[in-house]
Structure 1
């Protein structure tokens, strides 16, 4: 029974599985590389190209190429291409389908059962959107897990005999997370997490693009702005990414900026690059400081390791700055591939455990045998526990009768241990009220706030109130946030038993929309 782990990244994605000796292995795509650019090119309405070829085409046909899709997950928006409007879930599904199809070609086995990773700071809306993207791609999403947990699983497997407290600093192409994790007796416990899902390597690229364009304009003031031309802009983005990578091992790199028949050879030093991006690195350090402060409040103040995950942590300034700030020597833990490998390990372990719970010992034994696991390794897997925390606060909108203003009453708070469940009574405001709105809100900013504008509405519903009731009639509301960070909300009117169950449908995608998108995607050629 083959299962897979997928790191669905903002700029690059990859897929991994467990080999015949029990090791997590990243499967190369049909282009022969471990990672696939998270870029989608619509050659036509029914022919889609994903990966390196799509990225190359962005220079020639920028209007037909979509990238950085992950930053849109959980948002009610679409991207127009060839006269069609595509949701973030649908666009992500194309990437997932490319990974799964290439894996099937490589292994000869159907890559259907998967665990998909998300940034630790993703909330319920983004996680739900990711799960739906998997379903649209025709995959069975076993679970959604946070990227730092996946990295910690990889780290724990590589260091099985040691109990450690680690700080995971995860700077990817488009998102940033920092998470404190305790490894104890083979178990994994998330202490706290924080992050920014709109901060990543793409922002370093953007600064370099702006700098290159500025230097071109200074040298050719009579020429147009290269950023006003979509093709030139796309070429600059490619050049900026290549320059960033070059400057990880070199101190100088020259970029030729060409626009309107003019050329400017711009020499970029590592020092200059670090200067123009210093505030971005400062933001990651600030968030890391918040995380350490939260961990300290929970009684954790000593750390054994600082583990760097995500391709952007290869920039020399990252490790140097963190060692200066924290006094810990950073460890680059297979930064590009650790998350996918950890997801594959988790997918294997979770499937193995579920088979045992279902009484399917023979299938579990066959699965373990194929992976070459000893009886002791099987016992460890069966007993391993993973404890995580909520990334955001969740609540409902209530009316403060003292000032007649709406505010958010939070039932689940950021860094509450998961699964979390809380039930609380809320009360009607008016006499003879016939219904009550239940508006589910998720913390939007860095800190929990009762202000409605500091939260995002992620679900809404209406529950009936029996006639003739005075103001103050109770409605029982239960929030249940599961271990994957997916939210379930129930409201109950106790006299009649009237019950409202809310699911978090984001981006306007209902279950019916998901099925329609899945059927439509099955008719599209994806390569």
Structure 2
């Protein structure tokens, strides 16, 4: 009955579980690495390759590879390969299947129950798409947990019995989050969160790649730009990422750029890297400052530590900038693996608590005994709570008199405690109105706004109204946002009750499409 934690990352992913000593352990891939590149290469219609081999294949045949898929979750992007169209959920499912298979080989047991992490800045649609990706992969998704919460769980393991207030600064390959968290008596409480879903190490790589191209063009002005050739561009992306990693531990490195029989030898320093990417780092500092202002409004002003997670925090400039800007002690905590380990701990503990809640005390004890937990540890685990907040505001589109501009009324606001349940009454705008359009939106920018253009439509449906009703006939709408950040909306016309109950499901793929995809893609071989 082992449950696994999965860090489904933009650029790298990994899987972990709690071992027989009660410690979270990352399971190595078949290639012998802790993390797997989040790259999918479509070798044929019946065979896909995931991981390091897929990343290598992307250099030779970039048109058959897909990377950075996490940035496209719930955005409606489609990918056509070998005559079939794939959604981001399906491509993510291939990565999840690879992780599950590697774990099966490492442990000898089939992976079924999983907790998958997502950026704190992910909204309801992205979280639901992540859950569906797990289902397409043939997994049972126990929960979807924010990455900073998972990191805080790992941090709590390192500082048992200590009450702390920390800010988790999570700079991954494709996303950035800042989350203020309190740890009190073993319980975890999220105060507030902020971030950007398109700001991460990949953007640093892009800057380095652009500079390499500029240097090559200066030396060989009579040759086309390497960016005009897909293979050359992909090789430059690989070289840029390797350069960034090298300059995290060295002050100087030389990159050889080859294109159309010409070669440019580009010398790079850490100082050059920091100059080229200063504005990116400054953006993370400003988001951190904004998060701290939100926390201060909630009464939190003092911090014990900044906890840095995500592979991109290994760049020395990150910790230096935070110390300089805020004067708070900085801990770089197992940046590549902390999230997966925290997810594994959460999966383990949640399995134990769910067994207790269901009355299966024998099953719960078996889980605890397998990890060698003491009675005191079991009691703490049974009582532990994790409080989270909404990452964004969610609302409904409303209309005034005919001809008036539509606007948005938010029922749930960013950083509201979860779970949240809000019911609001709305009214028809014309006599004898026979249908109401229910449009659900999510805050799109960094600030809540009632302007329609500042929100993203994430779901919708129509609610019938009995004929002959006057203008101002009441409609009841309820928003239920669970602790995982998944939204469920119910609209009801109360006179006829359940016959006019509309349930609006969030996410790009319907449950029927998920089931069909799970069946179809199960026949595709993962290499």
Alignment of 1:22-171 (within 5 A): 22-171=22-171
Q: Are the aligned partners of 2:4 and 2:114 in contact in 1 as well (CA < 8 Å)?
A: yes
Map of 2:512 onto structure 1: 512
CA distance in 1 between counterparts of 2:196 and 2:403 reads 33
Map of 2:224 onto structure 1: 224
CA shift digits 1:96-155 (9 cap, x unpaired): 000000100110011110000000000000000000000000000000000000000000
CA distance in 1 between counterparts of 2:259 and 2:87 reads 33
How large is the RMSD of aligned CA atoms in angstroms? 0.9
Q: Are the aligned partners of 2:402 and 2:429 in contact in 1 as well (CA < 8 Å)?
A: no
Secondary structure, aligned partner of 1:93: helix
Map of 1:388 onto structure 2: 388
Secondary structure, aligned partner of 1:5: strand
Structure 1 residue 503, shift from structure 2 partner: 3.7
Secondary structure, aligned partner of 1:405: coil
CA shift digits 1:431-489 (9 cap, x unpaired): 11011010000011111011111111111011111111111111000001000000010
Secondary structure, aligned partner of 2:500: strand
Structure 1 residue 16, shift from structure 2 partner: 0.2
Q: Are the aligned partners of 1:124 and 1:504 in contact in 2 as well (CA < 8 Å)?
A: no
Distance 1:514 1:452, change over 3 A: same
Map of 1:365 onto structure 2: 365
Map of 1:399 onto structure 2: 399
Map of 1:8 onto structure 2: 8
In structure 2, runs of 5+ residues without a counterpart are none
Secondary structure, aligned partner of 1:495: coil
Q: Are the aligned partners of 1:422 and 1:478 in contact in 2 as well (CA < 8 Å)?
A: yes
Structure 1 residue 502, shift from structure 2 partner: 2.9
TM-score of the superposition, structure 1-length normalised? 0.99
CA shift digits 1:374-400 (9 cap, x unpaired): 111110110000000000000100013
Alignment of 1:169-180 (within 5 A): 169-180=169-180
Secondary structure, aligned partner of 2:406: strand
TM-score of the superposition, structure 2-length normalised? 0.99
Q: Are the aligned partners of 1:424 and 1:476 in contact in 2 as well (CA < 8 Å)?
A: yes
Q: Are the aligned partners of 1:460 and 1:502 in contact in 2 as well (CA < 8 Å)?
A: no
CA distance in 1 between counterparts of 2:347 and 2:504 reads 25
Map of 1:467 onto structure 2: 467
Map of 1:526 onto structure 2: 526
Map of 2:314 onto structure 1: 314
CA distance in 2 between counterparts of 1:500 and 1:354 reads 30
Map of 2:263 onto structure 1: 263
Residues 1:352 and 2:352 are matched in the alignment: yes
CA distance in 1 between counterparts of 2:32 and 2:400 reads 60
Q: Are the aligned partners of 1:22 and 1:372 in contact in 2 as well (CA < 8 Å)?
A: yes
CA shift digits 1:61-96 (9 cap, x unpaired): 100011000000011120121222110000000000
Q: Are the aligned partners of 1:476 and 1:493 in contact in 2 as well (CA < 8 Å)?
A: yes
CA distance in 2 between counterparts of 1:444 and 1:298 reads 23
CA shift digits 1:145-191 (9 cap, x unpaired): 00000000000111111000000000000000000000000000000
CA shift digits 1:218-258 (9 cap, x unpaired): 10000011001000001100100000000001111111000
In structure 1, runs of 5+ residues without a counterpart are none
Structure 1 residue 402, shift from structure 2 partner: 9.1
Structure 1 residue 505, shift from structure 2 partner: 3.9
CA distance in 2 between counterparts of 1:56 and 1:473 reads 61
CA distance in 1 between counterparts of 2:159 and 2:406 reads 50
CA shift digits 1:170-217 (9 cap, x unpaired): 000000000000000000000000000100000000000111001100
4+ runs deviating over 6 angstroms: none
CA distance in 2 between counterparts of 1:117 and 1:502 reads 26
CA distance in 1 between counterparts of 2:225 and 2:76 reads 32
Structure 1 residue 403, shift from structure 2 partner: 7.1
Distance 1:183 1:402, change over 3 A: farther
